[in-house]
Structure 1
Amino acid sequence: MRHLLALDLKDDPALIAQYEQHHRRIWPEIAQHLKRNGVTGMEIYRLGTRMTMVMDTDDAVYDAAAMAAAMESDPKVREWEELMWRFQAPTPWTPAGQKWMAMERIFDLSSQS
């Protein structure tokens, strides 16, 4: 299944550059965490401070709640998430305490006649 999520970055060119540097080669533990929880592909795009994540998952393995629980129980994943909050900012539509928010699909060319 494909998921699209949105998140903002703090409006600071130096922080944005650092964030991008961290994503040129993520920590191996983070890649393992994602794969272990059914993430089969992930890309992040940026325009200004707005980011969009495209995440493909294996429906037989992926469970958002289980992945969130695994994030809380794994010290290295928690460390990564705390580091990322240094650069990230919630969108104006993000509930307090949350990060990446699912985007609503409003158009699909394949459904057009």
Structure 2
Amino acid sequence: SANFDSHQWSTAITYEKTNVQDSYRNKSSLQCTINSSKRKQKQNTKQSPITTKPKKKARFNKESISNESSLTYEQEQQLDIDYKKLTVQKSLNDELEREIRLRQQLKSLCNTEPNDK
């Protein structure tokens, strides 16, 4: 009866740990998976981050970011120039439209005057 009780306790403990039913007969593969998961957890906690490769990449990234920032500064200057050109062109277009309206008004006035005389 002591053997039976120990077997019952071991199956109950196994069920609590792994949520596997009592009818699970192949306890060795179950124990292998439990041990495997424990090893993986230990490896995850023991692993230290690799610092040499990211530092090299970080330096390269910093240089490329500084190059990109200079490109963006040059691009910003070009955008400012383009914006100024557009504003000048818009003002010229506005002046031309105003001149066209005035000429049309003058033409309509000239056309209406001879009819009145």
What TM-score comes out, normalization by structure 1 length?
A: 0.18
Query: Which structure has the bigger radius of gyration?
Result: 2
Higher helix share: 2
Between 1 and 2, higher relative CO (CA 8 Å, sep ≥ 6) is seen in 1
